[in-house]
Chain A
Amino acid sequence: MADDTPTLSDYEETADVEFDLSDEEIDRETINAELERLFSS
């Protein structure tokens, strides 16, 4: 199932949205790590 671990990009693709985090303190890697943690919990 590891290959199915969702990333923020997956959600953006499925929802046809784009979250612009370029100027923010929170980055995509942190969100992806949280997604992976909960997906595997």
Chain B
Amino acid sequence: MERRKFVLSVGALAAGGSLTLGTGAFSSVEAERDVAVNVADDASAYLGIQPGDGPNGNYVDTTASDALAINLTGDNDNIGDGLAGGEGLNANAITGIADIFQVQNQGTQEIELEIAPLAFSDVDMSDFDGILGVLLVPQIGQIDLGYDLSWEPAVNLISISTLSPGDEIEFSLVAFALPESAVDSVAIDDEIELTAEAI
């Protein structure tokens, strides 16, 4: 009995020894793995900021760095190629442009999207009360995806949650320029800030 017990003990010791040898067989490892990182333009980035799918997407232009820009001026590069020559809003009128741009969650997590400002304005008080107002409108009135729409008074910001990966929000624009003599008297040159945060 004593001898058999001794043999088993040796076997156990050998098995344990081989495990120890296995983890200690090398002192260092050098391996190479690919890291691929692209900086994409707005349309392809993880927060996709794209022109609208329809013809009104031509009111959106891109800057020299391929960033999206709403461009309702004579400098829009789409003039002659999707935009037939118009160079600005009508005076003494309300202009509604549906689906001008869209924002899509092209990442991996649910996000809360904030956009500011929502309203832009210019008022010419020199010779007359020329008024230009531009309002961004999220097109979510008919969508039942559980979006939580939050208007933030005095912050000029809209918060939309929850945008899951693949979800997109389309935006429209309502603008008014008054009165008739507002032509060449009022204009807007500003920026929209989009903030996406994982939730």
Q: Are A and B physically bound partners?
A: yes
| Residue among A1, A16, A31, A41 making CB contact with B156, cutoff 8 Å | A16
A24 to B118 CA separation, bound complex (whole angstroms): 23
Contact with B along A2-26 (1 / 0, CB 8 A): 1011101011111111011101111
Q: Which residues of A contact B119 (CB under 8 A)?
A: 11-12, 14-15, 17
Q: Which residue of B lies closest to A40 (CB)?
A: B141
When distances are taken between beta carbons in the complex, the residues of chain A under 8 Å from B98 are: 38, 41
Residue of A with least CB distance to B143? A1
- A15 to B141, Cβ gap below 8 A? no
Within the assembled complex, what's the spacing in Å between the Cα atoms of A30 and B137?
15
Distance of A15 Cα from B143 Cα, bound (Å) = 25
Chain A interface mostly: helix
The closest CB in chain A to the CB of B179 belongs to A24
Q: Which residue of A lies closest to B99 (CB)?
A: A41
CB A14 to nearest CB in B, in angstroms, measures 5
Q: How far is the CA of A17 from the CA of B133 in the complex (A)?
A: 10
Q: How many Å from the CB of B182 to the closest CB on chain A?
A: 10
Nearest residue, chain B, Cβ from A13: B153
- Using known A-B contacts A14-B155, A24-B178, determine if residue A41 contacts B172 with beta carbons closer than 8 Å: yes
Interface-central residue, B93, B98, B121, B152, by most chain A CB under 10 Å: B121
Expressed in whole angstroms, the minimum distance between the Cβ of A5 and any Cβ of chain B is: 6
B53 within 8 A of A: no
A residues at B contact (CB < 8 Å): 1-2, 4-6, 8, 10-17, 19-21, 23-26, 30-31, 34-41
Q: List 29 A-B contacts (CB under 8 A).
A: A1-B141, A1-B142, A1-B143, A4-B141, A4-B151, A6-B135, A6-B151, A8-B135, A11-B118, A13-B151, A13-B154, A14-B151, A14-B158, A15-B120, A15-B156, A17-B119, A19-B121, A23-B129, A24-B131, A25-B178, A26-B94, A26-B176, A30-B94, A34-B94, A34-B174, A35-B137, A35-B174, A38-B174, A40-B141
A13-B154, A14-B119, A26-B178 given. 11 additional CB < 8 A pairs?
A1-B143, A6-B135, A6-B137, A6-B151, A11-B118, A23-B129, A25-B92, A26-B93, A34-B96, A37-B96, A41-B139
The 5 nearest A-B residue pairs measured at CB: A40-B141, A15-B119, A38-B172, A11-B119, A39-B141
